[in-house]
Chain A
């Protein structure tokens, strides 16, 4: 199970880095509240799941939507945190149960592998929406499919530049 989770977390980092570069090229997107809010939401959820998997305390995120550069740093921290956790996890760690605290009725108890997969799927859902908005705002959508990442030989994310 671990091999595919490593692939998926590595894809998350690459796809987010590519998508954020695409957003950075579109001034209207950098000023669009819904775009920034969505990017921040995706990064925040990724950070939360990383903390959950590492057993760290969760605190409510700060009020308001930060600037794009702050969001990009959050997205990078989230992606790197999830991938690092997957790299260090033994099969037994993946099977451990975690409780997702922001769902209470009924309690949401998942294995760590399922929680990690949820974080990845959540990011994928919102990445698609960001690409749609980018096109609406005059930008160019980029193909960040998992299969494209495989075709390209599993490239590392390029966050800077």
Chain B
């Protein structure tokens, strides 16, 4: 399963970076509060889950915590760097290890690390679809970020703006 997670997390970083390039190239997108809220949510959830896997509370940011869209971009880059570092230290056997965490309502859950790690790229993918729709509504050309697009283009590294 580790190889699958590595693939999905590399794709996630590439796809998020592609969206960010479009955001930063568009004045309308940079200024859009709805889009900013979605992006803060995507990367905030990335931070929250990383903290749960590490047994620490890293916090869940609100859009108003970021004074500018550039702040959110830097936050996104930091989240991806941290996720990449975390995954790089994992072996297949680690993915079966139970992780106990609390959801935002304070309820405790225990699940294997691999199951939890699979959730995150699925979550990002779901909301990236919404971000793409919003970018189009704002007149910004949403990039194609299908997993298969990334694979057939040689699995490029993320290109952040």
Contacts and interface: CB of A to CB of B under 8 A. Distances in A.
A89 interface: no
Given A4-B4, A4-B114, A146-B122, A103 B147 contact: no
Contacts of B86: none
B28 interface: no
Contacts of B109: 151
Interface residues of A, number: 32
A97 interface: no
Q: Would you call the interface of chain A mostly helix, strand, loop, or mixed?
A: helix
Interface residues of B, number: 28
Contact of A114 (B126, B127, B132, B151): B151
Contacts of A125: 125-126, 128-129, 132, 146
A121 B125 contact: yes
Interface string A137-161: 0000000011100110000000000
A127 B133 CA distance: 12
Contacts of A118: 146-148, 151
Identify which of A8, A128, A133, A145 gathers the most chain B CB atoms within 10 Å of its CB.
A128
A128 B152 contact: no
B37 interface: no
Contact of A145 (B7, B126, B128): B126
Contacts, number: 85
B114 A129 contact: no
Contact of A106 (B4, B127, B147, B152): B152
Contact of A103 (B123, B133, B148): B148
A158 B77 CA distance: 39
Interface in B104-123: 109, 111, 114-116, 118-119, 121-123
Interface string B136-161: 00000000001110011000000000
Interface string A54-98: 000000000000000000000000000000000000000000000
A14 to B, nearest CB: 13
A124 B126 contact: yes
Nearest to A108: B152
Given A103-B152, A117-B4, 12 more contacts: A1-B1, A4-B118, A8-B118, A100-B148, A110-B148, A110-B151, A114-B148, A121-B122, A121-B147, A145-B123, A145-B126, A150-B115
Interface of A: 1, 3-4, 7-8, 11, 100, 103, 106, 108, 110, 113-115, 117-118, 121-122, 124-129, 131-133, 145-147, 150-151
